[in-house]
Amino acid sequence: MTNPHATSPFAPTRWTLVLRARGDSAEAKAALSELCEAYYQPVMRFLRREGREEDAAQELAQEFFARVLSGAGFASADPERGRFRSYLLGALKHFLGDQRERERRQKRGGGATIEQLESSTDTSPGLDVADPSALPPDAWFDREWALAVMDRALAALAAEFAKGDKAAHFEALKPWLVGETPALSQADAAKSLGMSEGAVKVAVHRMRRRFRELVKVEIAQTLPNPADVEDELRHLVAALAS
Amino acid sequence: MNTNPSAKTCPKCGAPVPPEAPQGLCPKCVLAGAALATEAGLPPTATAEIPSLERVAAAFPQLEILELIGRGGMGFVFKARQPHLDRFVALKLLPDKLALDPQFTERFTREARTLARLSHPNIVSVFDFGQAGGFCYLMMEYVDGVNLRQAMRAGRFSPAAALGIVPKICEALQFAHERGVLHRDIKPENILLDQRGGVKIADFGIAKLIGEGHTEISLTGTGATLGTPHYMAPEQLEHPTEVDHRADIYSLGVVFYEMLTGELPIGRFAAPSEKTPVNHHVDEVVFRTLEKEREKRYQSAGEVKTSVEGLAEEAAAEAAAAPSLPPVMAPGQDFILCNPRLPRMAKLLTAYAVLGAPALFLISVFAWLRSIDGQTLNFEMLVFEAMVRVFETITLIFLVIGGFKLRGLRPSGPRLLRGTFWSRIALLAVAMVAGFVLAARTGSEGANSIGTFDIIEVTVGFMAMGFEVAALVWLRRSRAVLDALCRQSDAGVGPHGTMVAQGRAAGSAVTGGSRFSAKAIWGAALTGLSLPIPLLVVAALLLGAGGIGRVELALAVGSLLLFALPGNILGWMALSDIRASQGGLRGVPLAVFAALAWPPLVLAAVVLGVPMMMTFTSSTPPSTAMRVLGSLLLFVIPAGTITFIIWAIYSTARWAAGEQAPPKRGVLKWVFLALLAGALGLIALRQFSLSGREGGPDRPQPIEEFTRAAPIAGTEAITNFATVHFAGTPITNTVALHVDAASQIRFTFTAVDLRLEKGQRWLTIQYVDNVQGNCERVFRVDGNGFKPTTRTTESLSNPPNSPPVRSQRVEWLIPSGVSDPEAEAFRVAVTKSLREKSFIVAEGEERPLFHLPVGTIGDLSVVIGAIPKKPSP
C-alpha cells in the first residue's frame, strides 16, 4: 500500500511512522504495538459484541493483534482513507472472515492448524454467527473507538492531575467535562476542595481546555495526516450520538 | 477505567450514562465538549440545504409528506399527514448536515422536551420527536392558517384586532413563564393565527429553563445568533445570560407596536396614537411593555393581558357611547379644518392661521405691488419693503405650519403659534417705524391719493393685527389648558414615555441634561459672519446699484472661503455628532443653520437669479407669452424652491435629532399650493387689469380713472426699475405715471450720464414723460459764458403694451475747455440737483431745472416748459 501523506509537513504521528515504514522498521513496530495496546479495548468489545465469551474474545483478540503486529494482515488490509481506526476495522473484518473460512474447512475436516481456535469456538455459544451480514455495524466499532479515545484522554488528564498531587481535584471537577449544567453546583465543588467559586470556575475551564488538547493529541496519533483531527473528532462524536 | 455500576443519567443531556463510559461521564457530552471549540465557524444555517421531499418521505414511511411550509434558523417545516389518525401534522426537520452535530441535536432535543411540557390552547403542541433517516425531527400540531407576519403583510391590523390578539399571546406566555419556560424569540413569524381566529405560539426552540442562564454562551456557540434583534429586549442584546421572562414581554411589546402601526419601534418612535386611531391609554400600555429597563416594564404577561383587555373594553365602551362622546380622532383624518376637541378660540386661530392670514397676505402683496407702480420709490425704500415682505412670508409659513400643528393637537403647535405671533407683531412695529424714518429721510412726495381699496386694506390689516394680539393674549392665558390637551394626544411625553422622547416637540425637555455642540456654535457663528458681505454684493448686483469693484469681490470671495466654507463643514460635522450622540448634544437649530444657510442661497441664486437677470437685461419688449413665462419664473419656481428649502431644513433637523422619516402630514403640499395660488392669482389679476385698459386710449382721462386703468403689475415695475438703473448712473427715481390732465406734462428724471462720442463729451439726461395730451415739452437752455449745444435723441422705449409714457433723453455738449474732472464734477452736480425730481408742468408753464457752473468757463441753466402741441396737418 502507498502512503499519500508521506510528504505531510506535520510531525509524524505513530500511525504515519507505521505507514511510512510499512510496518517494517523497529520504530514502526514499536509505534504499532503502542497503537494496538491503546485500541485493544474496542477490538475486544467488538468481538464480544459478536456474542463471544470473554475468554474466547480475548484469545481471538490476542491472535488478531499478533497477526497485525507480525505484519501478516497488514498488506491484506485496505484501510479506508488511511486512518488507523479504519485500518484496524478492515483488518479485523478480514481476520474474522479468514477465521470463519477456517472454521468451515474444519467442519469439512480440514487442516489441524486451528485446533486452539476450534476449542475456543466450541465452548462459545456464538458458533452460529457465521453469516457476515450479522456483523455488528461499523458504527458500533466506531462508538467503541470513541470511548477508547475518551478513556485514554481522560486517563492522561487524570495522570497529569495526579502528577501535580491534585487527584482529588480531578475527581471533584471531572463532572464538568460534560459541560456546564445547573445540575452541577460549582459551589459544592468549591466547598469540598476548599477553593473559591471563582477558582473552581477557572480550574474547570483549564481542565476542559487541557482535555480538548489531549483528545486531539490522542486522535492525531491514529491519523496519517494530523490536520484531519477535527474531521475524525466529529466522526467520533457522531458515532456516539447515534 | 472507572465505570459506575449504578444506572446514572447525564446531568447535561439527561440520557442514561452507559455502564462502560469512562470515568462514569456521559461520553456523548464529553466528546461534544471537546469538539466544541472547533465548531465555531459559519452560522449553522448557512450550510443548510432543503432536503428533498423524496428523502423526507423515505425517512418517514409512516407519514405522507405533503409540502414544505416553512424554513427558519432551526430547520425546515413540512406539512404531512398521518394516515392512520387521519390528521395533518407539521414535521420540523433539522437540516441533515446538522443532524450530525451534537450541539444541534442537543438544542433540538431540548426544544422538543420543553415544548412537549407545555400543553396550552395558545401554544403549538408537540406530538413526537426523535431521529429518523439522518434527520432530527419534531412532529407538531399543524396549524391551518398564517403567521402574524404574513397576516400583517396582507393588510394592516385594525386596532381592535390587535387588541384581540395580544391577550391570547399573553395567556400563552404567562402559562409558559409559570412553568419556568421563556420563549426568547417572540416575533410575528412565531405567532400563528388559525382560521377560527385562534392564536398559537410556535418555536419555543430557544426557550430554556430559568436558571440555565450560564449555559447560554456555550450552547449557542459564537457564530449563531439566538433571537431576532429587532424584537429582542435591550438586556437580551447586552447581557444574554441574564434574561428573564420580562424579555418576552418586551418582544411582545414590539409585536404589539408593529401590529398597531406597521412599523418597528426603533429610535425615537412615534406613539401608536399618532399613527393609528387609538387613544392614549393604548400608548401607555405599549410604552410600558417597551420600557428599556425591565423593572419599569409590566412584571408579568398576565398584567399585560389585564391592561390590554381593559383597553379593549374601553374601546368598546367608547364605540357604544360614541354619540355622546367626541370620537377618538386621528389628526388630519376625520375632520376637514378643525379638531373638534379644540376650544372655540383655538378653532378660530387654526382657521386664521391656515386660511385667513395667507389670504390677507396675498391681498397685501397685491396691493403693495400695485401701489409701487404709482409711487415714487427709491432704492432704499424698495429694498426695505422687499425685505419686509420676505420676512412676512417666512412668518406666514410658520403661521400656517403652526395652524396645522394646532389642528393636529401637536404640543409644538401652540408654542409655534405664540412665537410666530410675537415675531409678526414685532416685524410690523419695526416695519412701521423704519418706514416712517425712511419716508422722512428721503422726503418722498407722499402725494398719492388714498383710494377706497387702500382704506379697506388698511382697515383689514389693522383688524388682523388686532386679532393676532388677541390670539397672543389668549394663547398665553390658556397655555395650560392647551398644553394638557395636546399632551394627552401625544403620549410620547407621557409618564412612560421617557424613551420615546419627542425631540421635534419637546427638544428642551429631552436634551435637558445634555451639552451644546461646540461645532454647531462655531459653525453658526462663522456662517453668520459669512452672510452679509456676499449678500450685499449680490443684492447690489441684482438691483444694479453699482459699486462692485475688486475690493468688494475680494471681500465677498474671502468671506465665502474663510467663513462660509468652514462654517458649513462644521455645521455638517455638528449635525453628524448630534445624531450620533442620540440626545447627548444640543444645538440642532444652530447646526442646521450652519449647514444649510448657504446651499439654499446658492440654489435660490441659481434658480431665481439667472431667470431674473435674463428678464431684466433683455432689450426687446416682452411679448405676452414671455411675460407669462416670466411670471411663472418669478412665482412658480420660487414657490417650489421655498417649499423645497423648508423641507430640506425640516428634514435635516429631524435627521440630526435621530428621528424617523417625517410622517406625511401634507403641510409642505399646502405651503407650495398656497404660494402657487398666490402667484397665479396675481397673474390673473394682472391680465384682467391689462385687458380692462383696452377701452379708448386716446380719450382724455380723469386722474383716478387713468391711474386705475394703467397699472403696471409688480413684475414690470421691477423690470422697469432695473432697466432704468442699468442704463446709466442712477438718480434713484422710479418711473411715475401720474399725469394730472391732458394739458400737463409730468417729467421724471431717471439718469444722468457722461457720454463720449467721437471725441466729444455729452452730458446726457434721461427722463420719462407722458406723450398724451395736448402739450409738448420744451427745454430752454441758457449758457452763461458759453454756448451750449443741445440735442434730443430718439425715444428710448415706448413698448406697445406699456402705458403711454416714454423714456427719452436730452444731451448737452460739454465744451472742450472743460477738463475731465470738471466735467465729472458737473455731472455729479446735475445728478444731485435732479435727484428725486419729478414734477408736473402745466401748459404755458416753465420750471427751472438747474443752474450750475460747467467747470470754470461759465454756468449752464436749464428751464423746462410745456407748450401747446402744433396741430398736425
What is the average per-residue pLDDT within B484-488?
A: 66
- Residue A178, chain B, CB below 8 Å: the answer is yes
User: For B584-626, what is each residue's pLDDT tens digit?
Assistant: 777 788 888 888 888 877 887 777 666 655 554 444 455 666 6
Give the model's pLDDT for residue B458: 75
Has residue B718 got a pLDDT over 80?
A: no
Q: Which of B1, B23, B100 sits opposite A174 (nearest CB)?
A: B23
Taking the C-alpha atoms of residue B103 and residue B219, their distance in angstroms, rounded to an integer, is 7
What is the average per-residue pLDDT within B186-206?
A: 80
Contacts of A236 in chain B (CB under 8 A): 31
All residues at 6 or more sequence positions from B202 whose CB lies less than 8 Å from its CB, including other chains: B124, B140, B143, B147, B190, B191, B192
Phi, psi angle pair for B105, to nearest 5°: -60, -35
Contact A154 B32 (CB under 8 A): no
Contacts of A180 in chain B (CB under 8 A): 214-215, 218
Helix (H) or strand (E) holding B719: helix B714-727
Taking the C-alpha atoms of residue A56 and residue A126, their distance in angstroms, rounded to an integer, is 10
Has residue B283 got a pLDDT over 50?
A: yes
Closest residue in chain B to residue A148, using alpha carbons only: B22
Has residue B554 got a pLDDT over 70?
A: yes
User: For B201-236, what is each residue's pLDDT tens digit?
Assistant: 887 754 443 333 333 333 333 333 345 567 888 887
Structure letter (DSSP) for residue B584 = S
Taking the C-alpha atoms of residue B90 and residue B128, their distance in angstroms, rounded to an integer, is 11
Give the model's pLDDT for residue B170: 92
Taking the C-alpha atoms of residue B146 and residue B191, their distance in angstroms, rounded to an integer, is 9
Give the model's pLDDT for residue A10: 45
CB of B51 closer than 8 Å to CB of B65: no
- B655 vs B421: which has the higher pLDDT: B421
Contact B31 A216 (CB under 8 A): no
Contact B29 A180 (CB under 8 A): no
Q: Is A158 helix (H, G, I), strand (E, B) or coil?
A: helix
What is the average per-residue pLDDT within B767-779?
A: 69
Polymer length of chain A? 242
Alpha helices in A71-129 (DSSP H): 84-107, 115-123
Give the model's pLDDT for residue B433: 81
Q: Is B384 helix (H, G, I), strand (E, B) or coil?
A: helix
User: For B263-278, what is each residue's pLDDT tens digit?
Assistant: 888 777 788 888 777 7
Q: Give the closest-approach CA distance of A178 to chain B in angstroms.
A: 4
Contact A233 B38 (CB under 8 A): yes
Structure letter (DSSP) for residue A194 = T
Contacts of A154 in chain B (CB under 8 A): 22-23, 25, 30
pLDDT level of residue B631 (50, 70, 90 thresholds): low
CB of B631 closer than 8 Å to CB of B646: no
Q: Which of A18-32, A90-104, A120-134 has the highest mean pLDDT?
A: A90-104
Taking the C-alpha atoms of residue B496 and residue B515, their distance in angstroms, rounded to an integer, is 24
Has residue B741 got a pLDDT over 60?
A: no
All residues at 6 or more sequence positions from B727 whose CB lies less than 8 Å from its CB, including other chains: B750, B751, B766, B796
**Lowest pLDDT segment from A66-70, B180-184, B256-260, B708-712:** B708-712
Contact B35 A233 (CB under 8 A): yes
Taking the C-alpha atoms of residue A57 and residue A48, their distance in angstroms, rounded to an integer, is 6
DSSP states along A202-239: HHHHHHHHHHHHHHHHHHHTT-SSGGGHHHHHHHHHHH
Has residue B714 got a pLDDT over 50?
A: no
Q: Is B699 helix (H, G, I), strand (E, B) or coil?
A: coil
CB of B841 closer than 8 Å to CB of B744: yes
CB of B425 closer than 8 Å to CB of B469: yes
Contact B100 A236 (CB under 8 A): no
- Residue A184, chain B, CB below 8 Å: the answer is yes
Structure letter (DSSP) for residue A5 = T
Q: Which of A150, A158, A180 sits opposite B31 (nearest CB)?
A: A150
What is the average per-residue pLDDT within A24-32?
A: 75
- B446 vs A179: which has the higher pLDDT: A179
Percent of chain B with pLDDT over 70: 65
Query: What is the rounded average pLDDT for all residues in chain B?
Result: 71
pLDDT level of residue A52 (50, 70, 90 thresholds): confident
What is the average per-residue pLDDT within B729-756?
A: 59
Phi, psi angle pair for B77, to nearest 5°: -120, 125
Taking the C-alpha atoms of residue A59 and residue B251, their distance in angstroms, rounded to an integer, is 65
Taking the C-alpha atoms of residue B316 and residue B865, their distance in angstroms, rounded to an integer, is 90
For the entire predicted model, the pTM comes to 0.32
Give the model's pLDDT for residue A212: 86
Active-site residue list of B? 185
Has residue B250 got a pLDDT over 80?
A: yes
Which among B98, B92, B95, B96 has a CA at the least distance from the CA of B80? B92
Helix (H) or strand (E) holding B200: strand B199-201
Percent of chain B with pLDDT over 90: 0
Taking the C-alpha atoms of residue B304 and residue B166, their distance in angstroms, rounded to an integer, is 9
Taking the C-alpha atoms of residue B234 and residue B247, their distance in angstroms, rounded to an integer, is 8
What is the average per-residue pLDDT within B116-130?
A: 84
pLDDT level of residue B666 (50, 70, 90 thresholds): low
User: For B315-353, what is each residue's pLDDT tens digit?
Assistant: 777 666 544 333 333 333 334 556 666 777 888 888 888
Phi, psi angle pair for B70, to nearest 5°: -175, 155
Taking the C-alpha atoms of residue B662 and residue B503, their distance in angstroms, rounded to an integer, is 12
